[in-house]
Amino acid sequence: MRIKAVTLLALCACAFACGLAAIPAAAQKVDVTVDPSANFKKYKRYAWGKNSLVTRQTADVEAKIEKKIEAAADQQLASKGFVLDPAHPDFVIHYDAGAIPDPDTAAATWSQPIYGGDYVLSGTFSGVPMDVWLQATALVKFAVQDASSKNVVWQSVLKKKADPQKFMRDLDGEINKLVAKSLQKFPPK
């Protein structure tokens, strides 16, 4: 029985080390910049500007992600009383988003024992680069420009460690969370 407990503990440790365990307090940071001279009370209508999304997905999946980001942002903005009006916007919103391999794991190599059932096989997966996107850093920047002056009056930059496979399995939920967190402080109070 001791071998089973050791194997279970080792499997849990391996899963955690590989970023496969759910970590509720995942590293997440949002930096917000505001133009203090901007009058946010005049902003009621908005339009979308040119967005940028960089992923390792196929073009059709990337287009799907772009639409989901816009839809999630539209929902967030509508819940705050803003109206999408491409013909007469007070402000223009756009985003730049993508993911990069997590620098903490990309430089490492995987050298873990191979476990199976009630036994441990001899040997390791040595020298396998960790840059297989077990964990990535998601980057999302939203910028709001005044429609008449074209000046950026508000922006947020979100950085969050994420499991790309988990992200793709719950694409709607993950995008909704990232967008909600990114736009949480818009408009500023």
Least confident of 25-39, 44-58, 83-97, 169-183: 25-39
The amino acid at 75: Q
Answer whether 118's CB lies under 8 Å from 4's CB.
yes
Mean of pLDDT values over 18-33: 57
Secondary structure class of 121 (helix, strand, coil): strand
Residue extents of the structural domains in the chain: 25-108+131-182
> How many angstroms separate the Cα of 148 from the Cα of each of 81, 160, 187, 189?
20, 33, 18, 22
Q: Which fold has domain 25-108+131-182?
A: Double Stranded RNA Binding Domain (3.30.160)
State the pLDDT at residue 105: 52
- Strands (E) across the chain are located at 28-34, 45-48, 52-54, 83-84, 91-101, 109-110, 113-116, 119-124, 128-129, 136-146, 152-162
State the pLDDT at residue 160: 84
Residue 9 has pLDDT above 60, yes or no: no
Phi then psi for residue 124, to 5 deg, are: -140, 165
Nearest alpha carbon to residue 162 among 64, 68, 23:
23
Answer whether 72's CB lies under 8 Å from 180's CB.
yes
Beta bridge partner(s), residue 107: none
pLDDT bracket for residue 24 (50, 70, 90): very low
What is the chain's length? 189
